[in-house]
Amino acid sequence: MYVCHDYPPDGREVTWETTVAEQRARNIHVRDGIGEGEFVAMRNARDATLEVPTLILPSIQVNVCAGRLPPADDNGIAYLRIPLNALPVHTS
Q: How far apart are CA 75 and CA 13, in angstroms?
A: 40
Where residue 72 falls among pLDDT bands split at 50, 70, 90? Answer: very high
Domain boundaries, the chain: 1-50, 51-92
pLDDT digits (tens, 9 = 90+) for 45-62: 999 998 888 888 888 888
* Residue 29 confidence (pLDDT): 83
Residues in the chain: 92
pLDDT at 4 over 80: no
**Is 62 within 8 Å of 69 (Cβ atoms)?**
yes
pTM of the entire predicted model: 0.50
**Closest of 92, 88, 68, 66 to residue 80, by C-alpha:** 68
Rounded to an integer, the average pLDDT of 66-84 is 88
Q: How confident is the model at residue 88 (pLDDT cuts 50, 70, 90)?
A: low
One-letter amino acid at 83 equals P
Q: What's CA 16's distance to the chain center, in Å?
A: 13
Q: Which of 69, 67, 88 is CA-nearest to residue 77?
A: 69
pLDDT tier at 77, thresholds 50, 70, 90: very high
